[in-house]
Structure 1
Amino acid sequence: MNDLKFEIGQVLVCWSFLENTMREHLNRAGLQEQILKGPVISHWRTYIKATYPDRAHELLEPVEKVARVRNFLAHSSYSLHADPWTKGSAVIACAAPDGILHSFSIDDLRAACTEFSELVVKPIRLFVAS
C-alpha cells in the first residue's frame, strides 16, 4: 500500500514540474499578468490554441492525457486496494463526477510519471530561433 501511495505522490510532484515548465514558457511569451489568476493549464490551452491553431490538438493531447490522471488523483480519489500476496494488485480507484470509477495501478502511475518527464524534458518550442 505504501508503494501505491508513493507513486500517487510521484504523479502529483511530476505534475508540479510540468506546470512549472508551462508557467516558464508563458512568462517568456509575455503573459505574466494573465497567468496570475486561474489554473496554468487553462492559460496553456488558450495560448497553444491561439499560437499554434493548426497543431493545437497534436500539442495539447499529451498534456491532456497526463492531466486527466493527475486530476483524478488530486480531486476524486475514492479508494485504495492492495493484496500483499499478489504482485501488481495495488490500485487506486477514482470516482469521476459522473460516478464512473477509474482505476490506476502502480504501473499506470509509473507510466504517467514517465510521460510527465518526457513533456518536461522536451517541451515544445514557443519561440522561433533568432
Structure 2
Amino acid sequence: MSASEAIHPTLNDLKFEIGQVLVCWCFLENKIREHLKRAGPQNQILKGPVISHWRTYIQSNYPERAHELLEPIEKVARVRNLLAHCIYSLHADPWTEGSAVIACEAPDGTRHSFSIDDLRATCTELSKLKVRPIRLSAAR
C-alpha cells in the first residue's frame, strides 16, 4: 500500500454509524417521552412505541400542522426502523470508494440501501430534532 492510497470506510466504520443512528434515535425518543409526560398522557405512554403516542398526540392536538410536525421525524424513523429490523447485508471495502453500504429489505419486500454518508446524515438529522426545543404551544 502506498502512502497516497486512500483508505475508505471499513465494515467496522459502517457498524459504528448504524449504532450511532440507533443511539441518536433513543435520545430523540427520550426527548419525546419527556414532552409527552409534561403534556399529561402519562398512563398512555407506559406501553407501546413512544413514536406511536407522539403521532397520536400531534394528530389530536395539532391536526392542521400534523404533517409539518411529523414529517421530519417520520423521515428518520423510516431509516431507523429499517436499520433496527430489516438489515440483510453489509459491505465495505476500505480500498474502494463508496463501497460502505448497508442493504435492508422492508416487510413489503422493497429493498433500500444506505451509504455510510446516508447514515451520518440521518444521525445529524436526529441530533437536530433532539436539540431543537419542542415548542408546540407557541406554534399554534
Aligned length: 128
Measured against aligned partners, the alpha-carbon deviations of 1:34-63 in whole angstroms (never above 9, x if no partner) come to: 000110000000000111111000000000
Structure 2 unmatched runs, 5+: 1-10
Match of 2:103 among 93, 99, 102: 93
**Equivalent AA in structure 2 for residue 121 of structure 1:** V
Residue 38 of structure 1: aligned partner: 48
- The answer to whether the 8 A contact 1:25-1:126 is kept is no
What is the alpha-carbon distance in structure 2 between the residues aligned to residue 34 and residue 123 of structure 1?
22
What is the alpha-carbon distance in structure 1 between the residues aligned to residue 92 and residue 133 of structure 2?
35
**Equivalent AA in structure 2 for residue 115 of structure 1:** E
> SS of the counterpart of 2:113?
strand
Scaled by the length of structure 2, the TM-score of the pair is 0.88
Residue 70 of structure 1: aligned partner: 80
Is 1:107 equivalent to 2:123 in the alignment? Answer: no
Scaled by the length of structure 1, the TM-score of the pair is 0.95
Match of 2:67 among 57, 65, 74: 57
Cα shift at 1:89: 1.1
Residue 116 of structure 1: aligned partner: 126
Measured against aligned partners, the alpha-carbon deviations of 1:57-80 in whole angstroms (never above 9, x if no partner) come to: 000000000000000000001110
Report percent identity of matched pairs. 80
Which is higher, the Rg of structure 1 or of structure 2? 2
What is the alpha-carbon distance in structure 2 between the residues aligned to residue 12 and residue 98 of structure 1?
22
Runs of 4+ with >6 A deviation: none
Measured against aligned partners, the alpha-carbon deviations of 1:59-116 in whole angstroms (never above 9, x if no partner) come to: 0000000000000000001110112211221011001112221000100000000000
CA root-mean-square deviation = 1.0
> SS of the counterpart of 1:6?
helix
Residue 20 of structure 1: aligned partner: 30
> SS of the counterpart of 2:123?
helix
Structure 1 unmatched runs, 5+: none
What is the alpha-carbon distance in structure 1 between the residues aligned to residue 55 and residue 134 of structure 2?
13
